[in-house]
Structure 1
Amino acid sequence: MVTPLSFQMFGFSASVAAGFLLGAIYDVLRIWRDFFHSQKRAVFFQDFFYMVFCAFFSFLLALPLGGGAVRIYLLAGEAVGWFVYYFTVGQVTAYLFRAISGFLYRCFFDPVGRLLKRVSGWFGKKVKIAVNLLKKKGRDWKKRLKQRAGIVYNRRNGLRRSRQKRKVVQRNEGTRKSKTKKKFSA
């Protein structure tokens, strides 16, 4: 089917406008990346979904304008519109956004960040003191239980020692003290 030249010119101009719109969407995505400092993985997925969206949008544009067939002039028109936006309006918006975001970071986000860092440092010290106090209390709670005996069946803490004979000596104040003597074997 041969389409008249005027319809092809309309299709080309509509695809240039669509490319301009796709460039504006990419500009929003670029501003998002700059503002939130996206990592490489996030940039990859953002670009991937942007390309899928562009392919779907181009397909939907080619249905009425190309009669269901993909025409090279429609794709070329989208590319021209995208590059026109990117190198004209896109450069101006990128410059303005960088200036505005630099001002916001310098005057708002950095002071708020420093304040939050100070508050979190102070709060962290208080939490650390509370945790240490709770640990100390936990050790003290264990001390309420009966302490393990130091000598059981003539063994000190599980180590076998030579047998010792205990002798109890009384002092003047009535306190008792034990002395040990080694048993001599012949």
Structure 2
Amino acid sequence: MGDFILEQLYIFFAATYGGMLIGFIYDLYRVFRGVFKPGKIATVIQDFFFWIVIAGVAMFVLLFSASGQIRFFSFLGFSLGMLLYYWTFSNIVIRTIRKVLRIIYKGIGKIVKTICYPFGLAKKQIKKMVLEIKVKLAWVPKIYHRLRNLPKKTFKKAKRYIMKILKKK
């Protein structure tokens, strides 16, 4: 009889541990959704995968602790584990995950800035060179405009000259 009670306690505590693990996974999911703010369709897909993972954790715990048998106190253990996790560790875990994500975000930002710095310098130098060339070649559009209009002016002058010659006769 003592072994039976010890086995039931083992299953209950394993389910409690599984409930705490499920609470941790839920906190990871909450932080993930808070950071990325998915749309409606992405939320449905993420919820689907979240429940698949949770079902897998619950099945794994029940399979290895109770040989896959589902008992009422297993559900109580899962519920108690989630509540214990929520009351004790949830706030600490969420704050820690957010701090870690901020550190990672800042680190990635510094890496990106370091990688982009030479490109920024090159861009400034190219802009400076283009501006200098633009200033030095400011006369080119004026010449181009004159040359473009030259055939029209020449044609008009030739036409006037021919008209004058024809009127004299």
CA offset at residue 22 of structure 1?
A: 2.7
Aligned partner of 2:159 among 149, 158, 163: 163
Tell me what 2:16 maps to.
16
Q: Which moved more, 1:110-119 or 1:121-130?
A: 110-119
Aligned partner of 1:38 among 20, 23, 36: 36
Which residue identity does 1:15 align to in structure 2?
A
How far does the alpha carbon of each residue in 1:119-144 deviate from its partner, in whole angstroms, 9 at most, with x for none? 8766643343456678899xxxxxxx
Identity of counterpart residues, as a percentage? 21
Partner of 2:68, secondary structure, is: coil
| Alpha-carbon separation, structure 2, partners of 1:71 and 1:161 | 107
Partner of 2:36, secondary structure, is: coil
Which residue identity does 1:13 align to in structure 2?
F
CA 81–135 in structure 1, closer or farther in 2 if over 3 Å, else same = farther
Q: 1:62, 1:71 within 8 Å by CA — same for their partners in 2?
A: no
* Unaligned segments of structure 2, at least 5 residues: 137-145
| Alpha-carbon separation, structure 1, partners of 2:126 and 2:87 | 53
Question: With structure 2 as the length reference, what TM-score do the two structures score?
Answer: 0.52
| Alpha-carbon separation, structure 2, partners of 1:13 and 1:124 | 63
Tell me what 1:125 maps to.
124
Question: With structure 1 as the length reference, what TM-score do the two structures score?
Answer: 0.48
Tell me what 1:58 maps to.
58
CA 110–64 in structure 1, closer or farther in 2 if over 3 Å, else same = closer
Partner of 2:161, secondary structure, is: strand
| Alpha-carbon separation, structure 2, partners of 1:184 and 1:9 | 124
Tell me what 1:144 maps to.
none
Structure showing the higher strand proportion among its residues: 1
Q: Which moved more, 1:70-79 or 1:42-51?
A: 42-51
| Alpha-carbon separation, structure 2, partners of 1:129 and 1:135 | 10
Structure showing the higher helix proportion among its residues: 2
Structure with the greater relative contact order (CA < 8 A, sep ≥ 6): 1 or 2? Answer: 2
CA offset at residue 65 of structure 1?
A: 4.0
